[in-house]
Amino acid sequence: MGEILKPLKGDFHLTDYQSVYETFNWKDVSLFNKQTVNAAYETIDRHVEEGYGEKIALHYVNQDKREDLTFKEVQRQVNHYVHILRSNGVKKGDRVFIFLPKNPACYIAILATIRIGAIAGPLFEGFMEEAIKERINDCKANVLITDQTLGERIKTENIPTVATILYQETIEKAPIVEDHYVEWMDPGEGMLIHYTSGSTGQPKGVLHAHRAVTHHAQSGKWVLDVHDEDVYWCTSHPGWVTGSVYGLFAPWLNRATIVIQGGRFNAKLWYQIIEDLGVSILYSAPTAFRYLMAEGDLYKQYDLSSLRHILSVGEPLNPEVIYWAHRALQLRIHDTWWMTETGGHIIVNLPSEPIKPGSMGRPFPGIEVGILDEEGNELPRGEIGQLAVKTTWPGLMKTIWNNDEKFRSYFPYKGWYISGDLATQDEDGYIFFQGRHDDMINSSGERIGPFEVESSLIEHPAVKEAGVIGKPDEIRGEIVKAFITLRSNVDETPELKESIRQHVKTRLAAHSAPREIEVINELPKTKISGKILRRELKQKEIERQAIDKS
Ligand code: ATP
Ligand code: MG
């Protein structure tokens, strides 16, 4: 691939990846060795006890509203929620679902639930009736915390196990009573349940244990590289695992000041927030970066000089986007790979290390990654295989709720966790994403990863976004078909399509060039994280073929 981006210079927490990778052991982290632990206590209360109560814990911005809270003030509100939950009879092991907008109360409710030993189930604010119902019933939740607006999407008769619904407005109106109770937990006991994004099928309820905070804290330190003076902004809602692990736990375990932004993506607003709040670290997703890139020179209207570190997660990060940020913002985007099930970073790019655009990075210290064949044997470097992680590590899920069979299916070979993704690893240890196991295209015997083709497509000046699938074909098995959206002011013509095809052909290979290109208005995506739903594109294509045939 293209040029390697040099490591940054700075006062980073981890400066010598190779030697740390060789010597690091989770047992070196004091948090790991605790007999009893409480994730919520470690996240907030400990800092207050250690004398950092007056430090700003969060900046909340929502339209004209702006609120800043210190760690002491966050703790006070958590104490209040603890009181409310306990006086409603909530106890260890209960499932408390939290359906709130991205606001401080959402973060506080999660922490209060966990501090009393109950299991927090944060739900994305974009969910509608059916999605909420499914998740709550799968978990047999006991309690729901919501607000008046989102609460309208809930029909009590649909969620029979929920005995109590608490409204944010009511909780906040009640006189503050501080309850300092902490339930000390065995590190293996559950604290948090997150449903996966549903990119490949039914979302799975992934249960995480308190021990995961070791993973959160250590990756927060090394990968997010948070320091005391940083203003850290993770744009994900805590209803997704990124929004809780890297939006709440990892930064706060490291005592960072975080930004909570109400509302959705808007390029101008995002740049404005960075300028106004002096954001120094930004963690977001490829879709957001692609949109910023499509806005062109807009960034020039803002003072973004506070920004020093950018990270990405959730789907493949196209090299073109990395080069754009490097040119425009003079910053690299650090890709990270992990899954709801892994509970924390597995493959990362560190600020002190070179980046190979197109690669997700290298394994996090204390974690060993393997590329396996279909029998579970490790493949030589350079070959495409199943991306697997050697068991075990602190963030690894405890189980899939209510589905032990599914849980066991992640471990088909002794000693390995199987991700469901395909990847290759090069001689330097860098890992390159190839696609989901099920998304791989097989055309005339050639295996083609959709991501590489998509990245090549969006290099073309006319293309905004691309989703690539294998379309069933009687002769070739499958052919490469691309669905694209065009940049504004570009018209669809046969010549344009041919020029796009030629672009991929000359950059990648003849067999990778899409035989069919279809221009659409919008790509189907999972909510918020904006992952391209290739499964849906393919399903529609197969249905259309069936109609054509009949
Ligand atoms: P479901 O499991 O319900 O089908 P999902 O796999 O999208 O949904 P998540 O746990 O949110 O749910 O996402 C994890 C997946 O996201 C990974 O398996 C991988 O396919 C993709 N992913 C995450 N980070 C990256 C990355 N940096 N590069 C490429 N793909 C990534
Ligand atoms: Mg998945």
* Domain residue extents for the chain: 17-425, 440-549
Is the pLDDT score of 501 beyond 70? yes
Categorize the per-residue pLDDT at 301 as very low, low, confident or very high, splitting at 50, 70 and 90. Answer: very high
pLDDT at 130: 86
Is the pLDDT score of 198 beyond 80? no
Strands 231-234, 281-284: pairing is: parallel
What tokens appear for 84 in the block? 């409310």
Q: Which amino acid is at 411?
A: F
In testing the pocket of ligand 1, which one of 246, 317, 356, 421 has its CB within 8 Å of the most ligand atoms?
A: 421
How many Å lie between the centroid of ligand 2 and the Cα of residue 196? 6
pLDDT at 64: 85
Domain topology for 440-549: GMP Synthetase; Chain A, domain 3 (3.30.300)
pLDDT at 528: 59
Is the pLDDT score of 199 beyond 80? no
Is the pLDDT score of 69 beyond 70? yes
Task: Please answer whether residues 189 and 117 qualify as being in contact, where contact means their C-beta atoms are separated by less than 8 angstroms.
Answer: yes
Cα Rg for the chain, rounded, in angstroms?
23
**Which ligand is located closest to the Cα atom of residue 439?**
1
Nearest ligand 1 atom to alpha carbon 203: 3
Comparing 526 with 6, the larger pLDDT belongs to 6
Spatial distance between the Cα atoms of 512 and 505, rounded to a whole number of angstroms: 7
Strands 446-448, 441-443: pairing is: antiparallel
Nearest ligand 1 atom to alpha carbon 241: 11
- 343 C-beta closer than 6 A to ligand 1: no
pLDDT at 545: 84
Q: Whose CA is nearest to atom 15 of ligand 1?
A: 339
- 454 C-beta closer than 6 A to ligand 1: no
Map residue 385 onto helix, strand or coil: strand
Task: Please answer whether residues 103 and 69 qualify as being in contact, where contact means their C-beta atoms are separated by less than 8 angstroms.
Answer: no
Record the pTM: 0.89
Nearest ligand 1 atom to alpha carbon 312: 27
Categorize the per-residue pLDDT at 184 as very low, low, confident or very high, splitting at 50, 70 and 90. Answer: very high
Spatial distance between the Cα atoms of 433 and 424, rounded to a whole number of angstroms: 7
Nearest ligand 1 atom to alpha carbon 200: 4
- 334 C-beta closer than 6 A to ligand 1: no
Query: What are the pLDDT digits (tens) for 315-359?
Result: 899 999 999 999 999 999 999 999 999 999 999 999 999 999 999
Task: Please answer whether residues 7 and 351 qualify as being in contact, where contact means their C-beta atoms are separated by less than 8 angstroms.
Answer: yes
Categorize the per-residue pLDDT at 374 as very low, low, confident or very high, splitting at 50, 70 and 90. Answer: confident
Full DSSP string of 224-260: S---TT-EEEE-S-TTSHIIIIIIIIHHHHTT-EEEE
pLDDT at 2: 67
Categorize the per-residue pLDDT at 202 as very low, low, confident or very high, splitting at 50, 70 and 90. Answer: confident
Full DSSP string of 309-363: EEEE-SS---HHHHHHHHHHTS--EEEEE--GGG-S-SEE--TTS-B-TT--BEE
pLDDT at 408: 97
Helix-strand-coil split of the chain, %, nearest 5: 35, 25, 40
ipTM above 0.95, yes or no: yes
Is the pLDDT score of 549 beyond 80? no
- Taking residues 47-74, what's their average pLDDT? 97
Closest C-alpha among 272, 309, 265 to residue 290: 265
Domain topology for 17-425: Rossmann fold (3.40.50)
Query: What are the pLDDT digits (tens) for 244-262?
Result: 999 999 999 999 999 999 9
Query: What are the pLDDT digits (tens) for 147-172?
Result: 999 999 999 999 999 999 999 999 99
Q: CA-based angle 311:314:8, to the nearest 5?
A: 20
Task: Please answer whether residues 69 and 105 qualify as being in contact, where contact means their C-beta atoms are separated by less than 8 angstroms.
Answer: no
Is the pLDDT score of 134 beyond 70? yes
How many Å lie between the centroid of ligand 1 and the Cα of residue 435? 10
What percentage of the chain reaches a pLDDT higher than 90? 83
Is the pLDDT score of 234 beyond 70? yes
Ion ligand 2 — residues with CB < 5 Å: 196
Task: Please answer whether residues 261 and 288 qualify as being in contact, where contact means their C-beta atoms are separated by less than 8 angstroms.
Answer: no
- 8 C-beta closer than 6 A to ligand 1: no
Contacts of 146 (CB under 8 A, 6+ apart): 98, 99, 100, 154, 165, 166, 167, 168
CB contact burial 490-523 (16+ within 10 A = b; e otherwise): eeeeeebbeebbebbeebbeebbbbeebebeeeb
pLDDT at 319: 95
Categorize the per-residue pLDDT at 435 as very low, low, confident or very high, splitting at 50, 70 and 90. Answer: confident
- Taking residues 523-538, what's their average pLDDT? 84
Bridge partners (DSSP) listed for residue 400: 206
Average pLDDT, the chain: 94
- Taking residues 361-369, what's their average pLDDT? 98
CA 49, distance to chain mean position in Å, is 31
Map residue 46 onto helix, strand or coil: helix
pLDDT at 391: 98
How many Å lie between the centroid of ligand 2 and the Cα of residue 439? 13
Bridge partners (DSSP) listed for residue 185: 37
